[in-house]
Every structure is written in C-alpha cells, then in structure tokens.
Amino acid sequence: MADTVGVKLEARGVTVHYRRRRSEDHFLAVDRADLEVGEGEFVCIVGPSGCGKTTFLNAVDGLLPLTGGSLVLDGRAITGPGPDRALVFQQPSLLPWRTVLGNVIYGVELRGAITGAEARERAQRHIELVGLKGFEDSFPSELSGGMQQRVNLARALTTDPEVLLLDEPFGALDAQTRETMQLELLRIWNQTRKTAIFITHDIVEAVYLADRVIVFTARPGRVKMSVPIGLPRPRDLRIKREPRFLEYELKIWESIREEVMRSNDMEERVA
C-alpha cells in the first residue's frame, strides 16, 4: 500500500539520546531507526517495553530533538510540533482544572485556527465519538482512567491533523471498551484515511488495526521487522479469529520474543 501512494513520513537513521541528570554521558534510547510511512497508511509499532517507542513518537511529534539522522514530513524536516500532527499521549495528561469539554477543545484553542462556537461544536462531536456524551462538564478527577484516556484521544482528533500519533491510547482500557474503541478508531480512520502511527503492546490490536506492523528491537530501539498486513478492509472484529490473522500474530509474537530473550541474554552477560 505504501508503494502506490506518496511517502508521508520518512525517518532516516533517527537517533535520540536523553541527557542524564547526574552524569555526563548520554543515554541512547533510539538508535538509527529507519521507517517510511505512506500517505494514509496505518502503521502500528510494537516492541519490548522501554525500547524507545514513545521516544520515537515524541521525536516525530517534534517534542524531542534528534541527535542523529533525519525526520522528514511531506518533504520538510521536522523541527518542532506542528498543526499537521497530533499526539495522543501514553498518560491521559489532562488539565485537571478544565472540564472534559475544556480539555477536548484545548488543542484547537492553542492552534487558534478555529474558535468559538465552531470549535465547541467540533469538540462536542468528538466527545460523542469517543462515547463521553453527558460528561462534558465533568472534571478529569471525576472520570475513570479509561474515560480520561478517551478524552486524550478526542483532544487529538479534534485538531483534525494529517498525521495522528497514538501512544498506547487504549492501554488502560478494559477488553470490551478496548475493542469498541478499536472499531471506532477504524471507522473514523476509514472515513478520513489519515496517516496514523499507533504504538501498542497488544499484538492482536496491532494486526487488527494496521496496514503494516513495525517491530522494534530491544533498547536502543531500531526497526527490526516490517510486516505488511494483507487483510481486507473494512475489518470486522471476527477477523481476529481467522487463520491468516493468527499467522501474522504468531510471526510478530516470535519476533518480539526473540528480542526480549536477546536483551535478557545481554543483561545476563553484563551482570
């Protein structure tokens, strides 16, 4: 799918170091990651915990400076956050003094492209989309973790970005809500066909959602494998039981397992 349409995002040798607070050395989190994401492609990234997935996504959002390589979006190097991208954070990260509506509107409010009644109307639509109708005036402290996470998602969707970056957005949800949200997300995505980069720990979720699943190596993260998912769309939830689906699942699972084993070996040898 990526070959037929233009390249939206191009990561070449992306390297990110974190500055360590107490020592002089730098901590390598992502090491020369290469990735191409096509226009309108849905890419899922999976990989062992702490391998640098969040770091990579934050770099794509423009929140972290690269220490090597390049990130190019629509032919322009990424130098900071922009209205063409929106990030759904791993933690809900809601403003506790704002209501649900106030939080969902926050993104568009900062961007300033649309204001007033129009912004409110759009926020309202996305609140309904994520199933939070009736909670517009609730404060985050009055919501469950899963509901907060849905506000986080609605906030990003409301800004109507070209590229949607999602960092384990459904990680905190229970199994049922999670599947509902997957369905909803695919429905939204089917309508708009926005480019999406979606991080998850859940291999089933990855295969179900993605055009392509990227497996990251153990830290420092790089791209280990790219698995195009040739399942037809629109995808029904029952597709998760089909042999082809299970084959993809197994392939990815083995690849991740190999990484986890390898990094454990490495740690043992160091110890």
Partner 1 sequence: MAVTDRATTRVAPRSGTIVEPAPVLAVPKPDTWFKRNESKVIGTISVTTFLVLWQSLGFVRAAWPQGIVLGGLKLAVPPTLFLPVPSEVILAFRDLVQGGELAQDVAVSLQEFAIGYVLAVVVGVLLGLGIGWYRRFSYAVDPFITFFYATPRIVLLPLLIIWFGIGIWSKIAVVFLGAFFAIVINTAAGVRNLDANLIKVARSFGATDLQLFRTIALPGSVPFVLTGLRLGIGHALVGVVVGELVAAQHGIGRLMAIAGSTFQSDKVFAGLIIIASAGMLTTLLLQRLERRYEAWRPRAN
Ligand X SMILES: Nc1ncnc2c1ncn2[C@@H]1O[C@H](COP(=O)(O)OP(=O)(O)OP(=O)(O)O)[C@@H](O)[C@H]1O
Among 37, 38, 43, 53, binds ligand X (CB under 6 A): 53
Count of residues binding Mg ion (CB under 5 A)? 2
- Backbone torsions φ then ψ of 190, nearest 5 degrees: -60, -35
Compute the least distance from the CB of residue 130 to ligand X, in Å: 22
Quick one: what does residue 171 bind among partner 1, ligand X, Mg ion, none, with the CB cut-off 5 to 8 Å set by partner type? none
Quick one: what does residue 63 bind among Mg ion, partner 1, ligand X, none, with the CB cut-off 5 to 8 Å set by partner type? partner 1
Residue 17 Cα distances to 13, 29, 53, 109, 182, angstroms: 13, 6, 13, 32, 33
Nearest to 91 by CA among 45, 152, 48, 139: 152
Burial degree of 209 (CB within 10 A; 0-12, 13-18, 19+):
buried
What's the number of CA atoms in the CB half-sphere (13 Å) around residue 69?
22
54 binds Mg ion (CB under 5 A): yes
Residue 226 Cα distances to 5, 28, 209, angstroms: 18, 22, 15
222 binds ligand X (CB under 6 A): no
Among 26, 27, 34, 91, binds partner 1 (CB under 8 A): 91
Q: Which residues contact 129 (CB under 8 A, 6 or more apart)?
A: 154, 157, 184, 188
Among 13, 68, 69, 83, binds partner 1 (CB under 8 A): 83
The span from the CA of 110 to the CA of 115, in Å, is: 10
Angle subtended at Cα 263 by Cα 258 and Cα 268, rounded to the nearest 5 degrees? 125
- Backbone torsions φ then ψ of 160, nearest 5 degrees: 55, 60
DSSP string, 159-203: T--SEEEEESTTTTS-HHHHHHHHHHHHHHHHHH--EEEEE-S-H
38 binds partner 1 (CB under 8 A): no
Compute the least distance from the CB of residue 132 to partner 1, in Å: 17
235 binds ligand X (CB under 6 A): no
Name the residue number minimizing CB distance to ligand X. Answer: 54
Compute the least distance from the CB of residue 46 to ligand X, in Å: 9
Site for ligand X in 84-123 (CB under 6 A): 90
Compute the least distance from the CB of residue 105 to partner 1, in Å: 11
Site for ligand X in 18-47 (CB under 6 A): 18, 27, 29
217 binds Mg ion (CB under 5 A): no
52 binds ligand X (CB under 6 A): yes
146 binds partner 1 (CB under 8 A): no
Cβ pair 53, 29 in contact under 8 A: no
| Contacts to partner 1 by CB under 8 A | 61-63, 81-83, 86-87, 89, 91, 93, 95-98, 106-107, 109-111, 139-141, 159
| Contacts to Mg ion by CB under 5 A | 54, 90
| Contacts to ligand X by CB under 6 A | 18, 27, 29, 49-55, 90, 219
